[in-house]
Amino acid sequence: MLTPKKWLLGVLVVSGMLGAQKTNAVPRPKLVVGLVVDQMRWDYLYRYYSKYGEGGFKRMLNTGFSLNNVHIDYVPTVTAIGHTSIFTGSVPSIHGIAGNDWYDKELGKSVYCTSDETVQPVGTTSNAMGQHSPRNLWSTTVTDQLGLATNFTSKVVGVSLKDRASILPAGHNPTGAFWFDDTTGKFITSTYYTKELPKWVNDFNNKNVPAQLVANGWNTLLPINQYTESSEDNVEWEGLLGSKKTPTFPYTDLAKDYEAKKGLIRTTPFGNTLTLQMADAAIDGNQMGADDITDFLTVNLASTDYVGHNFGPNSIEVEDTYLRLDRDLADFFSNLDKKVGKGNYLVFLSADHGAAHSVGFMQAHKMPTGFFVEDMKKEMNVKLKQKFGADNLIAAAMNYQVYFDRKVLADSKLKLDDVRDYVMEELKKEPSVLYVLSTEEIAEASIPEPIKSRVINGYNWKRSGDIQIISKDGYLSAYSKKGTTHSVWNSYDSHIPLLFMGWGIKQGESNQSYHMTDIAPTVSSLLKIQFPSGAVGKPITEVIGR
């Protein structure tokens, strides 16, 4: 029989066990926020430093830990791979995301990284905008690993204007992933995640925030004569925005242009404002950081990429976008302080890739530059027809890679080696080409490090091409005759910022060499969870302090 004394003793023992469990719980922040600023060159931290306020980038630099020598481990350096590699700690050869798009040799067609026809759009009728999922991703993410470590009690949400930049960081089984729909001006998702939009998303969409943000057009935040870090406002190598006939401030017709084409907000700083407001709504709507179970919010600031592509790194438009983003980040961090508590959350900020200077800008300043082969596929197929008598031997040319059509080769009774060798020799004659190599023979190629390792890391035997091309420094693909682009191994594309701030982070900086793939292992170590399944990076001990 259980006497009162034994009952009380049992209560005390159980209470003691529960208290010990709580006391000995793994120390973790209430919330992790992974910020990826699209197309952010490392030098933007300091180019505009004197004009930043105290609460955004400077807060991270002056109270957090800054890694000044972080590089991307692979080529091509594009958005989908960048986000995937940050959150998996892995490379395309392993995690499977070999580009924003790649040519599927079995299907005989181009494939978009998150395209998934087995799912349906949620929040839109557009299949193109809504049929997306992470099914092409072969490895787990740090967000997946947090879910596994907490028996999927952690809330994980991905937010971006871009589908791929929301979906891939959030992983395989998040609470939700949401992206912007150009057809409606609203955030949407797919049936991979849910059958209908959560109430908090509908509430946010119903506010029509994009229209409010563009209502007054876009003028410079500061007097335009203070933008001394940038070129003059009207230069020939900048693209146009909306109905404006010149690439110059102010953009007074932005509201009208947005009504005609909702996707226009992407190429303004207000796309970043919109994204961070959506991220705030995600925190409130999911009560993220409200209890002792760590949650994870991934946020991609994509407008820096769209503005950069359109105007180029030395434009006043890009500078103004970063000054406005700095203020938006200050507001976002202030909201985190209030909602989660200063010291209770961990933030890291990085970029998926950088960007080259515009060709026109480089030419104006007597720097080596030029354009890569304009229509390589068409040009080489003409030469191959003359040489081997077969049409369309090249099926695709993308990501600085050449894909041969196996069926055409077989039907024409041609050997891959013969055709490949011929194309490689022809490409070597191009003035824009530095190296050409067979992806099956990368290890034997006479090219220096780190280029060789980056080609190996970027080569996925199932999804990459048969030939990899390395362009000369400063050469851009021909479609970037205005503005800029990225994709190559050089420092302007591969050197990215990496800042940590908040829970568990001491103040400091380092110039030691680190890699994009070190980010996920570092976050995993801070959270004391298993590394993502395909991780090849290592924890940055200078950040975690041990």
> Which amino acid appears at position 71 of this protein?
H
Q: Is there a contact between 96 and 460 (Cβ–Cβ < 8 Å)?
A: yes
Distances (CA, A) of 82 to 38, 40, 332, 487: 9, 12, 23, 10
Nearest-angstrom CA–CA distance, 176 and 158: 6
> Which amino acid appears at position 449 of this protein?
E
> Which amino acid appears at position 544 of this protein?
I
Active site residues: 79
Closest C-alpha among 345, 90, 502, 512 to residue 541:
512
Alpha helix (H) residue ranges in 51-117: 57-63, 79-88, 92-95
Q: Is there a contact between 305 and 38 (Cβ–Cβ < 8 Å)?
A: yes
Query: In what helix (H) or strand (E) does residue 14 lie, and over which residues does it extend?
Result: helix 4-23
Q: What are the backbone angles phi and psi of residue 333, rounded to the nearest 5°?
A: -65, -40
Query: In what helix (H) or strand (E) does residue 387 lie, and over which residues does it extend?
Result: helix 376-388
- The percent of the chain in helix, strand and coil, each rounded to the nearest 5, is 40, 15, 40
Buried b (16+ CB within 10 A) or exposed e, 141-174: bbbbbbbebbeeebbbbbbbbbbbbbbbbbbbbb
Q: Is there a contact between 501 and 63 (Cβ–Cβ < 8 Å)?
A: yes
Tell me which residue has tokens 């993308």.
398
